[in-house]
Structure 1
């Protein structure tokens, strides 16, 4: 397989990870220090902590996706290492979803104080996005396991 087809995906992974890391380093500290209303601080800080913790599984999932692309470049896409990377991506997606489910009550309290019901729907976006990624990784893992089994059967018959 040509490496040019995976270069675009590697670039996309970098473009997905760089803003999150920049936000984690600079943006969250700025937001925590410059809250608009001090009444929100009791609800804002737990949400910021959860957002900060969610950066770890997010970056781990991006690294595993990069590792998977490197395996595809080396023609080792149908291996157990690829299956392990997909398992880790699935668990990272589930962890992120769980963290944002825990954060949802704090979003509700802020939405209640600010009278903004749309904020709750916006708070659900990371939950469903990470669940979709986790389910997709689980499906790919199952398909990859079946492909590895078929490949090993073909290797034994030849």
Structure 2
């Protein structure tokens, strides 16, 4: 059974039909799903999986209890570092999902630095990730950091700055030259 890191932007409240179809294929193939607890794309995907009564799901959270666990699935708590705020609270759980995954599926609004960084983390480990880019109406598969850099070039300077501000030193090595 392959493990799929399923995620996306918090500002997405409707999954594209192609992503819904792909999630249906994940369920049909009985792959495991690793998913966060955030509102937006995570909660939308959780709702879809719960509608299938799908059992092979693990919900990752930083808090004591998940913000969303729509299928009453197993919960994996990844505590944040002491004193963490904002993005830094949730980044460790995202890194852990990437570490455990074989593949990724992300629904991106074209602006979310967290979603873009999750794709990078998978690329750095040579784990393919399908990205549904809602802002451009496109689908791409990122296989490596070169593919990720090509995707990042479409994002715009402000988004790139936000991404860079949240990167670890190892992740910065993947920045475009």
Q: TM-score, normalised by structure 2?
A: 0.26
Structure with more helix by fraction: 1
Q: TM-score, normalised by structure 1?
A: 0.29
Greater gyration radius: 1
- Structure showing greater relative contact order (alpha-carbon pairs closer than 8 Å, 6 or more residues apart): 1
Structure with more strand by fraction: 2
